[in-house]
Amino acid sequence: MAQAQPLQGISIPRYETRSSTASSYNVYAVVIQLPVRSWTVYRRYSEFVRLDKNLAASPNASSNAGEPGGAGRPPPRQLPPRERAREWKKTFSGFLSFASGTEEKGGMDEEMWLKERMSALEMYLKAIVMDEDGGWRESEAFKMFIEWPMNVKMVTATAGSSSTSPRKPLPASRPTTSMPGTLPPGTRALGPAAASAANAPRPPPVETDATRPMNNTQLFQSQTDAMDQQDEQLLNLAAILRRQRQMGEAINQELGEQTELLGQLDGEVEATQANLSKADAKMDRFDGGKAKRKVGIGKKF
């Protein structure tokens, strides 16, 4: 049986304008959100057109034409039009915009048009994933478009309501002994406030939008994935801490070597000072201190 993952949401919150050597183009950020993680794929409008064509193709199209298989029928919602006439109009009116001083207005019109198309593309994707017929969202074409694993079944709110293994409702209350970190029955808490907090009844569990469409197996799998992700984060944190420890030990070793070098330098300075004192004494014996008296060194007042 294929593994299942709940799809919490799909949206297009923004678009980006990118440039190439030939021209510039727009890409739309498609955000796929699960209860414990999310990712973003960037698609051009031409890729939406290709998706729409592949979804209407046969599921066996991948073996015939090299394209991913579809659902064998058009999607439940149409794509927004390409609007070629509008592009020609914009190109033709570009020659007149500079003379009339309407460049800013044209830019605002372009931005509004892109936002409308972005909203229409988002409704197109939501219609696919929320439809009762799961043929479109389970097709190879759609999973490749949003980079969904092929061997993982997509579960949505509509699909979860018709699941073959319905989930039992959560109990109204659970014993405190099943909660990690709670006090065993009969244990006295420290202080009146702590005792009242420990003995106070706990609120019943509340269903959320993320857990409501899941059955027992899906809920357990979701919790397992969340714990696996936390374990991975802890392993990454442990690796960072080990690296910080290695850097601290290296800095400590470097400081020790620098201290040792400073000690050697101090010893050499003291030795040089002693040699200078000996040379000074020999000079005094040689000329009887005339050199010092000449420059006023060692003169007594």
Evaluate whether residue 287 is within a structural domain: no
The bridge status of strand 24-33 relative to strand 9-19 is antiparallel
> 64 lies in a domain?
yes
**Would you state the pLDDT for residue 116?**
93
CA distance 218 to 283: 97
Distances (CA, A) of 284 to 227, 290, 299: 85, 8, 13
So what's the pLDDT on residue 101? Answer: 53
106 lies in a domain?
Answer: yes
Domain count, the chain: 1
Spatial separation of the C-alpha atoms in residues 41 and 50, rounded to whole Å: 16
* Predicted pLDDT of residue 59: 80
- CA-derived radius of gyration, the chain: 38
Whole-number pLDDT of residue 162:
44
- How many Å apart are CA 140 and CA 3, to the nearest integer? 16
**What is the DSSP secondary structure assignment for residue 71, as one 8-state letter?**
-
pLDDT at 82: 80
Residue 28: domain span: 3-155
The CATH number that applies at residue 105 is 3.30.1520.10
Q: Is 144 within the bounds of a domain?
A: yes
Q: Quick check: is 295 in a domain?
A: no
278 occurs within a structural domain: no
Give the per-residue pLDDT at 90. 57
- The pLDDT value recorded for residue 188 is 47
Which residue numbers in the chain have pLDDT < 70? Answer: 1-2, 61-66, 83-108, 157-207, 289-301
C-alpha to C-alpha distance for 245 and 223, rounded to whole angstroms? 33
Task: Give me the pLDDT at residue 230, please.
Answer: 87
